[in-house]
Structure formats: C-alpha cells, structure tokens
Amino acid sequence: MTTEFEERMKALHKEFENLSPEERKAVKQKIKRVNVLTARKLERMKHQLLRMETKRAQLSLDDDPEELSELEDRIIVKKREFLKLFCKAKDTCSKR
C-alpha cells in the first residue's frame, strides 16, 4: 500500500507546480501579506496533513491495511485541496 501511496503523491505533485523551497517561502510570505485568512487556512490544512501523516506512520506499524488505505485516500484528497488552494492563492498574489 505504501508504494502505491507514494506513487499517487508523486503524481499529485507533478499535477501541480513543484516549487523550490525558496519559491514556496516567498509565495507564503506574499500570501501572508496580501490575504491573512487564506494564509491561516493554509496553515490549518498543513497542520491537519501532518497529523494525518503521523497517524499513517502509526497505522503502517500496526498492520491494519484497511484503515491504512482509507487514511491514505483521505490524505490524498486533503493534499489535493491544499495544493489547489496554494496554487490559486499564488496566482492571485502574483497578479497584484
């Protein structure tokens, strides 16, 4: 299940722009200056993703493949939402 999940995450990152850490930092700072609410929403989503990833690591050690696959699907959905919002905010901030 883990290799399939990793492949899906790579495909998701290819679908959206893969920015360098410096570019991401600059975009985050610009979003924070221009739209504070979007910046907070992004931080909240990031925190949720980190918690889900932690739970995924715990489940991978517990040998519960059904719950693990369900959680991985939720992580993919949440990550897609996060990347969509990030790219949308990046585009709106770059126009200003």
Query: Token digits for 85?
Result: 């919002």
Query: pLDDT class for 25, splitting at 50, 70, 90?
Result: confident
pLDDT tens string 52-96: 999 999 998 888 889 999 999 999 999 999 988 888 888 887 665
Residue 1 confidence (pLDDT) above 60:
no
Q: Exposed, middle or buried, 16 (CB in 10 Å: 0-12/13-18/19+)?
A: middle
Max intra-chain CA distance, the chain:
49
In this structure, are residues 35 and 89 in contact, taking their beta carbons and an 8 Å threshold?
A: yes
Residue 33 confidence (pLDDT) above 70:
yes
